[in-house]
Amino acid sequence: MKLKYLLPVVLLALVFSCSTDNEDDTDPLNEVEGLMLVKEIVNGDQTIELFNKKGMFETGYNAISIRIKNNTDDTYFENASITWMPMMQMPTMQHSCPRSAITKALGKNTVYEGFIIYQMTNTDGSGWSLTLNYTIDGMDYSVTETISVMQYENQNTASFMASDDTRYILALIEPKNPSIAVNTMKVGLFKMQNMMTFPVVEDYTITLDPRMPGMGNHSSPNNTDLTFNSTDNFYYGDLSLTMTGYWKLNLKLMNASNEVLKGEDVTEENEASSLYLELEF
C-alpha cells in the first residue's frame, strides 16, 4: 500500500488515541453539554445561566438547568441554594405557575435543576418574569428579569376549571420522543390553590383515550389510565401510538373517589373530550 493512503489512517489513529485522555477532569463547561442557553441574568458579581434542551422557554413543561457564575473569577458556585418565582403579569392581576423546588443535579457540581410549567403566554412571548432568590455562603441575593415564553405548537398543557370549582393545571412531560409503540406517558397535575401556590394533586386518576381526528377518530389499543406515583409526584400510564401523525389524547380527570371532575368519554356522537392534550410526531 502506498504511503499516501496509509498516512491518513495513522494520523486518525493517533488523534483518536489522544483524545480520550482527559476524561476524568470535570470541566465545568461539560456539565451543561447537550443543553442550550436560554438566558443569562447578570446580578452584580454573579451571572445566572438558565439552560434547557431547546434554548427557549415554551408553554408547558420546561425542565431547566441553572448555573451561577462568579463573575470575579469565572468559576461556578457549587454551594448555592436557590428558589424561584415565575410571574405572569396580566392587565388586572398577576399569577404564578406550577414549578418544582430547585435541587443540585445528580452527579454534577455546578448545575442545579428544576422545572416550570407555563400554562399560558402572550402571543408575542411577553408577560412572564422570573425572580431568583439564592444564598451563597450565607449571603442572600435576589434578581428579577423578564423572560419570554413562546407558545408551543400543540396543546401540551391544560389549565381548566373542574366541577369541584377548583382550577387544575395538567402538563404533558413524556413521551418526549414518541414512537410507534407503547410509550410511557408522564404528566404533572397541579391545583391552583391561589394565584401563587400550585401544589401537586395526589391520588387522582386520569383516563386516557388517544385518537387521531384525521383518521376518523382512530384509537389505539392497550392504553392504561394514568395513576399517581408518589416517589416523584407525577402521573404515569401507557400510551399506544399506532402511527406517526397528530394525536389528540382525550382525558378525563377523576378524583380519589372516582368522581369525574372534568372531561367526557369519546363516543360516536362526542368526538373529543373537553380535557385533552395534543401530540405530533
Partner 1 sequence: MKKLIIILFCLLFSIHGISQEKKKEEKKDTTKLEEVVIKSRRKLSSYRQEKTLSSIDDYLEKANNVIMIKRGNYAWEPTINNMASDRLVVTIDGMQIFGACTDKMDPITSYVDVSNLEKVIVGSGQEGTENGHCLGGGIDLQLPTSKFNESGLKTSADLGYETNGNFIATGLEIEYAGKEFFISADGIYRKSENYKAGNDLEVLYSQFQKCNISLQSGYKFSEVHIVDVNVIYDRATDVGYPALPMDVSLAEALITSLTHNYKPEDKSLKSLETKLYFNTITHIMDDTKRPVVPIRMDMPGWSDTFGFYSKADILKGKHHFIFNLNGFYNKSLAEMTMFSNNPNEPDMFMYTWPDIRTLYSGLFVKDNWHIGDGKSIASSLRLGYHTNRIAKDVGVESLQIFHPNIDDQQNRFLMSMASSYTIKKEYSNITFGLGYGERAPSVSEGYGFFLFNSFDNYDYIGNPNLKNEKAFEANFSFKQKFNDFEIGVQSSYFHIMDYIIGDIAPNVSSMTIGANGVRVYTALDNASIFDVYLNGSYKISDSFSINGTIGYNNGKGSHREHLPLIRPFSYFTEVSYNKPKFNVALQLDGNGNQSNYSSFYGENKTASYAVLNLNLGNAFYGEKGRAILKYGIENILDAKYSTYADWNNIPRQGRNFYINLSFVMH
Say if residues 35 and 113 touch (Cβ distance below 8 Å). no
- How many chain residues interact with partner 1 (CB under 8 A)? 23
Q: Are 41 and 96 within 8 A, CB to CB? A: no
| Residue 122 near residue 148, CB atoms below 8 Å | no
**Strands, E, within 12-93: which ranges?**
36-43, 46-52, 57-58, 60-70, 75-76, 81-89
Give the residue, chosen from 229, 243, 270, 274, that forms a contact with partner 1 under the rule CB under 8 A.
243
Contact segment (CB under 8 A) with partner 1 among 70-78, 140-148, 190-198, 238-246 equals 238-246
Distance in angstroms (rounded) separating the CA atoms of residues 102 and 82: 6
Which amino acid belongs to residue 248? Answer: K
Q: Which of 7, 9, 181, 196 binds partner 1 (CB under 8 A)?
A: 181
Provide the H-helix boundaries in the chain.
3-19
Residues 2-41, one symbol each (x = binds partner 1 by CB under 8 A, - = not), give ----------------------------------------
Cα-Cα-Cα-Cα torsion 10, 14, 15, 21, nearest 10 degrees, comes to 160
214 is an interface residue for partner 1 by CB under 8 A: yes
Where does this chain touch partner 1 (CB under 8 A) — which range of 32-40, 49-57, 63-71, 240-248?
Answer: 240-248
Contact 142, 65 (CB under 8 A): no
Q: Are strands 149-150 and 57-58 parallel, antiparallel or unpaired?
A: parallel
- Verify binding: residue 265, partner 1, rule CB under 8 A: no
Question: Which range binds partner 1 by CB under 8 A, 44-52, 111-119, 177-185, 229-237?
Answer: 177-185
Of 147 and 185, nearer to partner 1 (C-beta) is 185
d(C-alpha 251, C-alpha 248), whole Å: 9
Q: Which of 221, 230, 267, 268 binds partner 1 (CB under 8 A)?
A: 221
Question: Which is nearest to 133 in space by CA: 102, 104, 105?
Answer: 102
Segment contacting partner 1 by CB under 8 A, of 66-74, 114-122, 197-205, 235-243: 235-243
Segment near partner 1 (CB under 8 A); pick from 24-32, 41-49, 61-69, 239-247: 239-247
Minimum distance, C-beta of residue 254 to partner 1, in the bound complex (Å): 20
Contact residues: partner 1, CB under 8 A: 179-182, 212-222, 240, 242-246, 280-281
